[in-house]
A and B are shown apart, each in its own frame.
Chain A
Amino acid sequence: MSGELLGVDGPEWLRADGSDSDVVMSSRVRLARNIAGFPFLTKASDEDRSQVLELVRDRVLAGGVAEGLLWVDVAEASEDERHLLVERHLISRQHARGRGARGAAISAPDERLAIMVNEEDHLRIQVMRSGLAVAEAMTQIDAVDDAIEGQIGYAFSPRFGYLTTCPTNVGTGMRVSVMLHLPGLRMTGEI
């Protein structure tokens, strides 16, 4: 796994070649999704977890979601490998040290797209871009979300939106963030 991910150039978002990259290191959009018909992970049995993992892995890797996806079985990965994934912001610390069947689909070699399976929600989809590129990240993640939704029914409520394990995420299940290099901002006189 590590060999395929350890590209010479590293992840795309670290290259500092995006818009406003003197200040904005990276832009990130994530979506939280759960699959209809399965309990959330708080109440999922080992069997439920395995079924969710297999379902997502098979459908996502079958094609149509994104090109060049690499599958990582996080539960089977070594500690070093999990550490590498966390450092590259491809999985969360929680996902790395979690328990039970869990995995991640990662677009290689650019590492722009990462889909965590069985984190807090069944699916945590993220797109990271170098510099200030929120709109581009949104466009990409929306297409990925549509492609997955075409194959797997999401838990959704007309009143609350996409249903998430933590009710603070319910709705679009989206979080948008940019990582800023504050000394850069200081040097350019912005603050």
Chain B
Amino acid sequence: MRCDRCDNEATVHETMLVAGQKVEKHLCESCARDEGLSIHPTEPINALLSKFIMAPGLVQQAAGGGRSKKDQKAPSCPDCGMTWMEFRKCGLLGCATCYEVFETRLAPLIERAQEGATHHVGKAPRGSVGLADHQRRLRALRVELGEAIDAEQYEHAAQLRDSITKIEELVELERSEAAKRVDRGIVGSGGPEGVTPGGSGDDPGLETECFDEPGGEP
């Protein structure tokens, strides 16, 4: 059997159930590696998952291209010195600020890891609950606004738009307040505003994959 992507012999076969439909993939070892499929059946599940999500082909695709000049020119993290190319090599970030610096490039990868979810909706540190709540409300209102426009309920849509504007102003105000607190040296319970990493950037001990779990299981 030939590889789905090239003319080599397919040696890695994957069967997945996607929305109740059976999807089969037949790949050669090289293409399988590129898609993040493991060719080592004894690897721990978390290593498999990381490789699947961080597969070189997919990272390139998610970041909008291959090993392009754009990638090489991507800004490095001002706090820890991590570059996008370095991240692509090791799959690990250097500090909390990296999530802000590489936000647009990371978002598609995270979306894939989270089965399509783009925003955190789970537990949050006590200090940031207000902000997270506002953002959840904003998302719901935006969906409602879209539905109102589709249904040509323009009066309702105008009310929704006003509500969205008010919450956006509130979020902006809370963000600037948080930034002021950091400027005064009061680091709160988390939040990118509360993070002031002081990375040394001199540690060569990068790992090439995520660590495994205690005892490799469960």
Interface set of A (CB-CB < 8 Å, partner B): 25-28, 30, 34, 36-40, 42-45, 47-48, 86-95, 99, 114, 116, 119-120, 126, 142, 145, 149, 153-163, 165-172, 174-175, 177-179
Instruction: Tell whether, in the assembled complex, residue A43 and residue B96 are in contact, meaning their CB atoms are under 8 Å apart.
Output: no
B38 on the A face (CB < 8 A): no
CB-nearest residue of chain B to A45: B200
Once A28-B218, A166-B91 are accepted as A-B contacts, the answer to whether A158 and B80 lie under 8 Å apart by CB is no
Interface of B is mostly: loop
Q: Are the C-beta atoms of A42 and B50 separated by less than 8 Å?
A: no
Interface pair A92/B211, CB less than 8 Å apart: yes
User: Is the beta-carbon distance between A92 and B200 smaller than 8 angstroms?
Assistant: no
A165 CA / B96 CA spacing, docked (Å): 8
User: Which residues of B have CB within 8 Å of A45?
Assistant: 199-200, 202-203
Inter-chain contacts of A27 with B (CB < 8 A): 218
Interface 1/0 per residue, B100-129 and A, CB below 8 Å: 100100100110011001011011111110
Q: Other than the known A48-B199, A156-B124, what 13 A-B pairs have Cβ atoms closer than 8 Å? A: A40-B96, A42-B205, A43-B200, A43-B201, A91-B214, A93-B215, A142-B123, A155-B96, A158-B135, A161-B124, A166-B91, A171-B114, A171-B122
| Complex contact B92–A165 (CB within 8 A) | yes
Partner of A177, one of B103, B187, B210, B218: B218
Residues of chain A within 8 A (CB-CB) of B205 are 42, 99
Contacts of A155 on B, CB cut-off 8 Å? Answer: 96, 190, 195
> Is the pair A167, B106 in contact by a Cβ cutoff of 8 Å?
yes
Give chain A nearest CB distance to B44 CB in angstroms: 9
In the assembled complex, the Cα of A179 lies from the Cα of B191 at a distance in Å of 34
For A39, the chain B residues whose CB sits under 8 A away are 79-80, 94-95, 197-200
A selection of 19 A-B contacts at a CB cut-off of 8 Å is: A40-B95, A42-B92, A42-B206, A89-B218, A91-B214, A92-B211, A92-B213, A93-B215, A120-B211, A154-B125, A154-B189, A157-B191, A158-B131, A159-B119, A167-B106, A170-B99, A170-B113, A172-B123, A177-B213
* CB closest chain-B residue, reference A86: B215
A158 touching B132 by the CB < 8 A rule? yes
Main secondary structure of the interface of A (DSSP, over half): mixed
User: Closest residue to A116 on the B side, CB-wise?
Assistant: B214
| Shortest distance from the beta carbon of B126 to any chain A beta carbon, whole Å | 7
Tell whether B56 is near chain A: CB-to-CB under 8 Å: no
Evaluate contact between B203 and A43: CB separation under 8 angstroms. yes
Whether a CB of chain A sits under 8 angstroms from the CB of B192 is: yes
Candidates B49, B81, B125, B218; contact of A168 at CB < 8 Å? B49
Distance (whole angstroms) from the CB of A129 to the closest CB of chain B? 11
Question: Shortest beta-carbon distance, A5 to chain B, in Å?
Answer: 14
Q: Which of A119, A168, A179 contacts B54 (CB 8 A)?
A: A168
B211 touches A119 (CB 8 A): yes
Residues on the B chain within 8 Å of A114, using CB: 214
Q: How far is the CA of A38 from the CA of B92 in the complex (A)?
A: 15
Asked whether A158 lies within 8 Å of B195 as measured between CB atoms, the reply is no
